[in-house]
Amino acid sequence: MTIIILLLGLGVGVLVGLLGIGGGVVLVPALVYFLRMDQHLAQGTSLFILLPPIGLGALREYWKQGQVDLNAGILCAAGMLFGAYAGSFIALPLSSRHLQGAFGCFLMLSAFLLWRKARHDSNAAHSNQEKASV
């Protein structure tokens, strides 16, 4: 069991670095399905692993290439601190079943946004420049 959890963490971590995301979005369903956790417990545990700066190693790689907007990042951090607190008050009174359903809908919305962003990029001329400079 311990090995499974360690490997799960490693897999999620690769996605963190690859996509610049927190990892919770894949971690929560993984905890629900592989470890048979209740939806609320999976979400609380996911928030716990986001507490230490797990993305720091990945951030360093981006920083070396100058791909970080520090001001915008700080603003985002502040907004998310308060937003997350508000969000927890919406989630906690919900039943696990409805929370899981809402989570599913949220994943589909995220997928839609990511997909749109990908198409948006392919239309932008500078994406070719980016590719050339990599």
Partner 1 sequence: MSEAAETARGAGRGVGIFAIACVCGVASGMFGIGGGVILVPLLGLLFAFSQHRAQGTSLIALIPPTGILALMAYSKEGFVSWKTGLLLIPGVFLGGIAGGKIAKWIQPRLMRQVFAGILFTLGAWQALSAWRH
Q: How many residues bind partner 1 (CB under 8 A)?
A: 111
Binding status of residue 19 toward partner 1 by CB under 8 A: yes
Binding status of residue 128 toward partner 1 by CB under 8 A: no
Using the rule CB under 8 A, which residue among 36, 125, 132, 134 binds partner 1? 134
Using the rule CB under 8 A, which residue among 31, 36, 125, 128 binds partner 1? 31
Q: How far is the CB of 64 from partner 1 (least distance, A)?
A: 9
Q: How far is the CB of 126 from partner 1 (least distance, A)?
A: 7
- What are the tokens at 42? 């999976």
Q: Are 123 and 67 in contact (CB under 8 A)?
A: no
- What are the tokens at 126? 């500078």
C-alpha distances in angstroms, 53 versus 24, 49, 57?
A: 14, 9, 9
- What are the tokens at 129? 């420049």
Alpha-helical segments (H) within the chain: 2-19, 24-34, 39-49, 56-64, 70-91, 96-123, 126-133
Write out the binding residues for partner 1, residues 74-113 only, by CB under 8 A: 74-92, 97-98, 100-113
Binding status of residue 34 toward partner 1 by CB under 8 A: no
